[in-house]
Structure 1
Amino acid sequence: MTSNIAPRSRTRVAVEAHSLRDLYESSEILRVVNVWDAVSTKVVSELAKTRAIATAGHGIAAAHGYPDGEHIPFELMLAALERIVSATELPVSADLDGGFGDAGEAVRRAIGVGISGANIEDQLRPLNESVEVMRAAVQAGEKEDVPFVLNARTDALVKGGDRPREDSIADAIERGRAYLDVGAQCIFVPGVLTADETRTLVEGIGVRRVSVIGLPGALTAAEYEALGVARISYGPMPQNVALTSLKRLGASLLADGVIPEDTEKLNNF
């Protein structure tokens, strides 16, 4: 891949990885508003309370016309990540789906374009296989002299099927502990979690070691923070909200509406 974007130095990526790790370990929950391209990154980066940038794999894929789930070619995903990194001075954590067939190589190349952390899904593979995926991601960072911040995602809840909910929670805890043992910083358990379920996950995995997603019906960031959660992200929802606004604006304009007077100019570089 060729690019005229000036890459981050390996030293800088390592420093940003340390900063990102500190944010996970802070008593204040890390709030990340997921982005999908350079302009969304610029808008979110300029918000006063933004401490780090996190990409939405689903959002990046959709922006390029692909469905979620590693259907987007990895080279195209990598190019999108490089553009996102170039649009911010903050640490960037990427959504690398399930590792695109080789989690270690995906992390190595992501570091090369300035990424200092990532989500990688276990996709509910057998536990021993999932552990090796997470181990490969962590070891790739070590080989690059970057303390890469792995937010290891378990799909124990979202792909648990019709098994009892408590069994899925127990599976998430078992998997989470195993991923922490091979060097993951945090365990991402997507799904709408109740306070009791969140408390059980934090007790089983560890304080400031659980990452959640903010979906309709979920708790607030402050409520998750009080329960010991490390990070809350919002996945494809920010893009969904933006596109909903575009759809409504388009309908209004096609019905002879006008651009709202309070509209800001946010897309200038």
Structure 2
Amino acid sequence: MTTAQTAANNAKGQRLIELHQAPELLQVINVWDVISAKVISDLDGTQALATASHSIAASLGYEDGENIPRELMIEAVGRIATATDLPVSADLEAGYGDAGETIRQAIGVGIVGANLEDQLKPFDEAVAAVRAAVKAASDEGVSFALNARTDVFVKGGPEANKEEQITEAIKRGKAFLDEGATNVFVPGLFDEATVTALVDGLGHNKLSVIGLPGSLAPAKLTELGVSRISYGPLTQRLALTALQAAAQDLLAGGVLPDGIKPLN
């Protein structure tokens, strides 16, 4: 990167960190390509964007879970970053076996924040990946909002003990924060008591959650001290559900509705 590009990225990264630290809940709508990024960027209230790795992989014909080659993922998130003036956080799964290098490559295409999954790997290994990611951003000279994710609840299964899951999520999350992560992302469908326990353990404005059908409303999450909410692949599924419903209507003899907005 040129000096000017580094300075521009650093400013965006600092802005993204500030948005995570602000008292208001940061809502990031997940996008998967340039046109979805532009559509969301144009909305009042959009302050930053987040990519969804599952959605990008699906759009290119790959299963989720680092099946899409890293170079294709980096190219895809770079196209999105180039298409907007807003800060972009990229879902980079578990870092493709080399979290530091993956973060470095993402920064090189304009990304200033990332999700990094622990996939419930051994504790020391998960912490080392966060450490490597933070170091890579520091070495590149860019402020970077690392949303370090723990999959304690995602991989826990129906027989898991919730109290033990909360304890483990807090243990891992605090270690990630100690290594320099901006936030701790704990995906799952949580009630108010669980969110409160996680915030109490991790700190005010340190918890990031996913919005799912049945999740607490943004206003309640703000009240409880949550920093960020994103929506993962559900935004793409919502769009495709609407497309499928419209196609069914057209194939049954219907016509396109009025009010369709042109895409720039």
TM-score (norm 1): 0.96
Residues 105-116 of structure 1: pairs in structure 2 closer than 5 A: 105-116=101-112
In the other structure, the counterpart of 2:220 is 223
Residue 173 of structure 2 aligns with which residue? 176
Q: Partner letter of residue 147 of structure 1? A: S
Question: Which amino acid is the alignment partner of residue 66 of structure 1?
Answer: Y
**2:202 corresponding residue in structure 1:** 205
Runs of 4+ in 1 over 6 A off after TM superposition: none
Residues 105-144 of structure 1 mapped to structure 2, 5 A cutoff: 105-144=101-140
Could you say which residue in structure 2 is the equivalent of 1:33?
29
Question: How many residue pairs were aligned?
Answer: 262
Rounded to whole Å, the distance in 1 between the matches of 2:124 and 2:143 is 23
Q: Alignment partner for residue 56 of structure 1, among 30, 47, 52? A: 52
Aligned-pair CA distance for 1:163: 2.0
* CA RMSD of superposed structures (Å): 1.3
SS at match of 2:147: strand
Q: Equivalent residue of 2:30, what SS? A: coil
In structure 2, how many angstroms separate the alpha carbons of the residues matched to 1:186 and 1:216? 23
Q: How far is 1:18 from its partner? A: 0.5
Per mean C-alpha deviation after superposition, the further-off stretch among 116-125 and 74-83 is: 74-83
Contiguous gaps of at least 5 residues in structure 1: 1-5
Aligned residue type for 1:108: R
Q: Distance in 2 between matches of 1:27 and 1:181?
A: 21
**2:17 corresponds to which residue?**
21
* Distance (whole Å) between structure 1 residues aligned to residue 160 and residue 212 of structure 2: 22
- The equivalent position to 2:184 in structure 1, one of 182, 187, 194, is 187
Q: Which residue of 2 aligns with 1:255?
A: 252
Paired residues for 1:160-175 under 5 Å: 160-161=156-157, 162-175=159-172
Normalising by structure 2, we get a TM-score of 0.97
Residue 115 of structure 2 aligns to a residue whose secondary structure is strand
Mind listing any 5+ residue stretches in structure 2 that lack a counterpart? none
Quick one: which of 78, 95, 98 aligns to 1:99?
95
Residue among 242, 245, 259 paired with 1:245 = 242
Give the CA deviation at 1:41. Answer: 0.1
Residue number among 232, 236, 242 corresponding to 1:235 in the alignment: 232
